[in-house]
Amino acid sequence: MSDEGTEQAIGHVLDALNVTATLNEGELVAGAVVLLKVLQEDGETRLSLTYSDGLGWIERIGMLRVAELVDNGSSTLGSHAE
């Protein structure tokens, strides 16, 4: 098994996992950071982090930190899917 996979769009994967978000009328998604739990052929799991084009490293780290705070109930910044 190769250490490097093939880069591919994952929109259909997120759809199949029923990943949703709450958006209000007129809001546009400006970027995304996605953490994937991947089941490998040998049965092992790994984590894979990917993000949308145009996000700088500071934005990516900030988005991950805010997601952690919101998920832990430590912050009321924004909203998240239930």
Q: Compute the distance between CA of residue 13 and CA of residue 64 in angstroms, rounded to an integer.
A: 21
Closest listed residue to residue 32, CA positions, set 23, 42, 41, 40: 23
* pLDDT in 10s for each residue of the chain, 82 residues: 446 789 999 999 999 999 999 999 999 999 999 999 999 999 999 999 999 999 999 999 999 999 999 989 876 665 555 4
What DSSP letter does each residue of 31-42 carry, written as one string?
A: --EEEEEEE-TT
Q: Against a cut of 0.85, is the pTM above it?
A: no
pLDDT value of position 78:
57
pLDDT value of position 40:
96
Q: For residue 50, list its beta bridge partners.
A: 34
pLDDT value of position 4:
75
